[in-house]
Amino acid sequence: MHTVFKKMPLKLIGILIGGIWIFHGLYSKLLHGIPRHELIVGRILGDSLAGLATPFIGIGEILLGCWVISGHFRRPAAALQTLALISMNTLEIILAADLLISPIGMVALNLCFVALIWYWALCEKSPDQSRLH
């Protein structure tokens, strides 16, 4: 992992990761700050469900971000984030590639994001894991 992240406290990395989820849930989906997100959801779930599903996806992203920021159960949080990103990226590339700015760029960026997530999850025991040992 890059030395910038090695020197950064894990709590701050958690805030960074959680903030990314909260930003995309709140700004991109709930506040329609990036309308393309709803178009992508429409491609995947159908246009008739996009208006209803997009805010629910946003709420899920916000809750995931809050979980990460809490620092509790880091490994399950990392596993869920990895599953979510792989699922979203796969569906987006298969069903909505023309709506993406750069499918290859999205995958590359999300691979870096997943690496950071797992660095955060594995580097230090979370408060919950410390109580178990």
Tokens coding 29 = 């989906």
pLDDT band at 112 (very low <50, low <70, confident <90, very high): very high
Q: Are 25 and 37 in contact (CB under 8 A)?
A: no
* Residue 28 CA to its chain's centroid (Å): 12
Q: How many residues does the chain have?
A: 133
Q: Is the pLDDT of residue 128 over 70?
A: no
Instruction: Return the number of other C-beta atoms located less than 10 Å from residue 129's C-beta.
Output: 13
Q: Are 36 and 99 in contact (CB under 8 A)?
A: yes
Mean pLDDT for 35-55 is 97
Q: Are 80 and 55 in contact (CB under 8 A)?
A: no
Q: Is the pLDDT of residue 78 over 70?
A: yes
Angle between helices 36-45 and 47-70 (to 10 degrees): 110
Q: Is the pLDDT of residue 101 over 50?
A: yes
Residue with the two structure tokens 């792989």:
86
| Statement: the pTM of the whole predicted model exceeds 0.75 | yes
State the Cα–Cα distance between residues 133 and 66, nearest whole angstrom.
25
What would the DSSP string read from start to end of 18-34?
HHHHHHIIIIIIIS-SS
